[in-house]
Amino acid sequence: MSNLEFTDCGGNVVSVETAKYNAFKEKMNGSTFNRTTALEVGKGIGLTSRAIRFAVLTQANRVGNGKYSMSDSVKPVLAKGAAYAKPLTKEETVVPVVKPEPEVVDLVAKTMNESLVPDKFEGFVEWGHYRDVNKIVKSGMFYPIFITGLSGNGKTLMVEQAHAKLKKEMVRVNVTIETDEDDLLGGFRLVNGETRFVPGPVVEAMEKGATLLLDEVDLGSNKLLCLQPVLEGKGVYLKKVNKWIRPLPGFNVIATANTKGKGSEDGRFIGTNVLNEAFLERFAICMEQPYADTKVEYRIVKGCLNKYGVDDDEFAKKLVDWADVIRKTFYDDGIDEVISTRRLDHVVKAYSIFDNKMKSIEMCVARFDIETKNAFIDLYTKIDAGVDVNADNEASETEDDSDTPETDEENVNQ
């Protein structure tokens, strides 16, 4: 059994068992203790009072007035002119205990690696504020913009196609009344059996230098105020993981809405809210997006026909004239409903499926009340005098009958 040797004040050798010395050191675990505690713990291990006096209560282990510690990380406090008492050993028998470094746990999950560049839309027509949006995105500046306009006039598509043309990444967030800080900035999720902080779309866009598109932003609540520092371009503090996120160059915020953040007085856009003025003030400019004029809309509808494999320029022209008359009546407060550019695309797509003009129009305006629906259908028959409602329906029924297999009963009757 190996021993450690120390010298007392008279120069005599004090022998202490290495195992007991190490046991005492481990028992104290780097804590601070006094002489009474040392004697109690030491006797419990089997150390004599003499051994404790000259092996433990040494000047080298002294950290204060009557205080001692055997932690290697604590620097002893020595009396003026005193020297360290070094134990005399015949051979090195004490193996220093190396404490492992604490493992740094990364609570943040890895972000997405896939490309966020929108796909190009076949038949897209550049019009309205498209060039303005394109210039802002191309500049790479942080310049938040607010785009407002009636539903279905191409606000979101315009922003997407500007990014598709420039091959610029964009993160789209559809805002609702339930959208909160956890949805936008991120929160803790279960990832592969571990609880990790998953960054939200806002952080994703900032770390990629992409554009953050807040779609239908006027449906949101005051919980959107967590984006105040983001709209200033200063970054955002993730308090859940104690981390500050700064945006990369190229990051920007674009918001689209059907209102200007003041709510909908006529009730057309139910669910829209009055947004905080401080939130709206952080958008540099507001772009008002109307419906396209007849020339531009004809190109749009014609492109839709080509996309769906239909060649009928006359039908495209009649649809545009039909929608234009309805909108003028709507702006004059003559009716409460309007035909959007998106609904014209729905009509064209239905026409490519059913090959029946009136059936396609009737199905696409059936969402309105009976009076409005009949008025819209009647208006189209007046604009397109060549269309025959009955003939189209009969043709449709004939086609349906020709595709229906004959039953045994019909064969017997024949």
Residue-by-residue DSSP string for 16-82 = EEHHHHHHHHHHHTT-EE-HHHHHHHHHHHT--HHHIIIIIS-GGGEEETTEEE--TTSPPPPPTT-
* Run of H or E including 7: strand 3-7
pLDDT given for residue 41 in this prediction:
82
The domain boundary residue, chosen from 41, 69, 97: 69
pLDDT given for residue 389 in this prediction:
63
Domain annotation covers residue 125? no
Tracing tokens 């028992």 back to the chain, one arrives at 27
- Longest Cα–Cα distance of the chain, Å, equals 134
Handedness of CA 135, 137, 138, 141 (dihedral sign): positive
CA distances from 99 to 30, 31, 32, 71 (A): 12, 15, 18, 11
**Residues 379 and 262 placed together within one structural domain of the fold:** no
pLDDT given for residue 98 in this prediction:
52
**Residues 216 and 136 placed together within one structural domain of the fold:** yes
**Residues 255 and 397 placed together within one structural domain of the fold:** no
Integer Cα distance of 346 and 349 in angstroms? 5
**Residues 300 and 327 placed together within one structural domain of the fold:** yes
Domain annotation covers residue 154? yes
**Residues 205 and 257 placed together within one structural domain of the fold:** yes
pLDDT given for residue 399 in this prediction:
52
Integer Cα distance of 303 and 324 in angstroms? 18
CA distances from 118 to 114, 121, 157, 161, 274 (A): 12, 9, 10, 7, 30
Domain annotation covers residue 309? yes
pLDDT given for residue 70 in this prediction:
80
Handedness of CA 147, 152, 158, 159 (dihedral sign): positive
**Residues 155 and 276 placed together within one structural domain of the fold:** yes
Q: For the packed helices 389-402 and 357-364, what is the interaxial angle rounded to 10 degrees? A: 100
**Residues 158 and 40 placed together within one structural domain of the fold:** no
- Report yes or no: 398 and 356 within 8 Å, Cβ to Cβ: no
Domain that holds residue 17: 3-69
**Which residues, listed in sequence order, are joined to residue 214 by a DSSP beta bridge?**
173, 255
- Report yes or no: 140 and 250 within 8 Å, Cβ to Cβ: yes
pLDDT given for residue 343 in this prediction:
96
**Residues 173 and 262 placed together within one structural domain of the fold:** yes
Both tokens assigned to 151: 């539903």
Both tokens assigned to 83: 């020297």
pLDDT given for residue 164 in this prediction:
96
Query: Of the candidates 296, 308, 300, which has an alpha carbon nearest to the alpha carbon of residue 360?
Result: 308
Domain annotation covers residue 89? no
**Residues 61 and 145 placed together within one structural domain of the fold:** no
Domain annotation covers residue 101? no
**Residues 259 and 327 placed together within one structural domain of the fold:** no
Domain annotation covers residue 124? no
pLDDT given for residue 90 in this prediction:
44
pLDDT given for residue 97 in this prediction:
52
Tracing tokens 């038949």 back to the chain, one arrives at 123
Total of domains in the chain: 3
**Residues 64 and 136 placed together within one structural domain of the fold:** no
pLDDT given for residue 106 in this prediction:
52
* Run of H or E including 213: strand 211-215
Domain annotation covers residue 232? yes
The pLDDT tens digits along the chain (414 residues) read 577 777 777 677 777 788 888 888 888 877 888 888 888 888 878 888 888 888 888 878 888 777 888 875 444 443 444 444 444 444 444 445 555 554 444 555 555 567 899 999 988 999 999 999 999 999 999 999 999 999 999 999 999 999 999 999 999 999 999 999 999 999 999 888 889 999 999 999 999 999 999 999 999 999 999 999 999 999 999 999 999 999 999 999 999 999 999 988 777 788 899 999 999 999 999 999 999 999 999 999 999 999 999 999 999 999 999 999 999 999 999 999 999 999 999 999 999 999 999 999 999 999 999 999 999 999 999 999 877 666 455 444 445 554 544 545 554 454
pLDDT given for residue 272 in this prediction:
92
